[in-house]
């Protein structure tokens, strides 16, 4: 009877040890998953910040180009000339190209 009780207790201990090992494996898996998710989170935050910076640059460029367009339109109207859509488009394209070149130079300087 005592040996039977001892065997039952040993079986219970073994079952608890197996359950403990399974739970420990689950904890390890969850920790590993958490680390992966934290890394992904930090990458997404970094991407978001970069996108916000790019958006800010686009907004500044848009304001700059809009102001130049307004100046150009005002200048043309003061001269009494009707704006030629083709030359206006050409002026806008040149202005955008200049703005892109300025941004590229700024990025090169920022990287060095």
1 against 29, higher pLDDT: 29
How far is residue 74's CA from residue 93's CA, in Å, rounded to a whole number?
18
User: How many whole angstroms from its chain centre is CA 38?
Assistant: 15
Residue 14: the pLDDT is 97
Nearest-5° angle of CA 4, CA 10, CA 13? 145
pTM above 0.75, yes or no: no
Each residue's pLDDT tens digit, 49-97 = 999 999 999 999 999 999 999 988 888 787 765 556 667 778 888 888 8
Residue 79: the pLDDT is 74
The token pair at 54 is 């790019």
Under DSSP, the state recorded for 80 is T
């Amino acid at each position: 009877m005592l040996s039977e009780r001892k065997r039952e207790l040993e079986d219970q201990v073994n079952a608890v040890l197996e359950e403990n090992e399974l739970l420990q494996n689950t904890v390890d898996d969850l920790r590993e998953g958490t680390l992966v998710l934290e890394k992904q989170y930090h990458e997404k935050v970094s991407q978001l910040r970069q996108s916000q910076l790019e958006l800010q640059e686009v907004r500044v460029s848009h304001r700059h180009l809009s102001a130049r367009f307004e100046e150009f339109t005002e200048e043309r109207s003061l001269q009494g000339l009707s704006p030629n859509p083709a030359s206006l488009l050409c002026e806008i394209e040149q202005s955008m190209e200049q703005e892109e070149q300025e941004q590229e130079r700024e990025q090169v300087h920022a990287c060095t």
